[in-house]
Amino acid sequence: MAINTSVEKVQDYDVEAIRRDFPALDQQIHGEQLVYLDNAATSQKPKSVIDSIVQYYENDNANIHRGVHTLSERATLSYENARKTVQKFLNAQTEKEIIFTRGATEAINLVAHAFLEKLSAGDEVLITAMEHHSNIVPWQMLCEKTGATLKVAPINDKGELILEEFEALISRSTKFSAISHMSNALGTINPIRQMIDLLHQHDIPVLVDGAQAIPHIAVDVQALDCDFYVFSGHKLYAPTGIGALYGKMERLEQASPYQGGGDMISVVTFDKTVYNKIPYKFEAGTPNIAGTIGLGAAIDYVSSIGVDAIAAHENSLLDYAVEQSKRIGKLRIIGTADNKGAIMSFVLDGIHPHDVGTMMDRQGIAVRAGHHCAMPVMDFFGVPATARASFAMYNTHEEVDALMAGIENLIEMVG
């Protein structure tokens, strides 16, 4: 199938060279070449990330911070270098503003816990209608414990935030806001800087959920002026079970620890505990050392290609997929925001999304099917679920062709 020349490939972007760096892409599924389009759920890992983990376990395996022997010192250096890598990637002022977590979900829960003592009955927490469950449930739990109220800014039929309604919900009672940078279910990219500015006019602290945005958008936390920014490593070509929280130093200083245990303490007696300095105050127990080192390696890999170059390539894939989908009469895209990332959620008339996912897998094509941990979004659009094709740096226009051919095949099979 010929590629539509109206959607140009990004010049000087060597996708085939990039693909060779990802071992998992070179395999067959049910006798068909794998077409991996489930990147919004998790991305594949480049060889450099895999090698960094092997290097740690084969040569430097030791606990960090507490040892004076060589292996511990090497492991500690690699771990703390990863923190500096994240700092540079986000343009935080200091590496002390970077806290390692298991992922975006734990980071959001950490911040919610920190505000447990700061909210009371009558206060309000403001989110949007496109949030992932991980940026809904922690705030519901916080509101239940404090008597605060959760306010939800609506979206329109394109899946875009209605900014005027968002602004109208900001009041003297608003004490915190948690907003997604990019929707995992729709691909919508929010006007995040404008939203932060509106909130900061009322001195309201803001958390930005960057789990979906971080692989696709260059993030500068100082330019955004957000109070907190969270992301997961596994969507950024890093291992699972590792993520990071950025927090402004003054916010972190004011926050109480999320967990108690080893390494987050300075002095412990049976009468009193003195907490460690930031960031260690929030990193209780032995961390995911190998995963953290892998996160640093993943960021190095992404940086070597360039987030802007990756985004341009992915946007060309999305534009091409949307254009090609127009010829399939039974296909309806859910989420048509003017500004969106490389996610195409869709439904097919008469075919349940779960059946779409299963039948596509038989053709070697990996797409997501379900509510994508965004059930309120599904309810808004009146669908139980969607199928979701999400693109990454290593996907190709030919794989978009395979996706469209696969959809046409299953429509023909169902009749």
Helices (H), 288-396: 289-305, 307-325, 353-361, 375-381
Neighbours of 9 (CB within 10 A): 16
Query: Whose CA is closest to 138, among 164, 163, 103, 186?
Result: 103
Residue 373: active-site member: yes
Neighbours of 38 (CB within 10 A): 19
Helix (H, G, I), strand (E, B) or coil at 346: strand
CB 233 within 8 A of CB 298: yes
Residue 279, preceding bond cis, omega within 30 degrees? yes
Q: At what angle do helices 353-361 and 397-414 cross, to 10 degrees?
A: 120
Neighbours of 66 (CB within 10 A): 11
Query: Whose CA is closest to 337, among 125, 126, 186?
Result: 186
Point out the catalytic residue in the list 62, 163, 373, 383. Answer: 373
Half-sphere exposure of 410 (CA within 13 A, CB side): 26
CB 257 within 8 A of CB 275: yes
Compute the distance between CA of residue 367 and CA of residue 39 in angstroms, rounded to an integer.
9
| CA dihedral angle for residue 303, residue 307, residue 313, residue 319, rounded to 10 degrees | 160
Q: Tokens for 272?
A: 């009193």
Neighbours of 36 (CB within 10 A): 23
Known catalytic residues are: 373
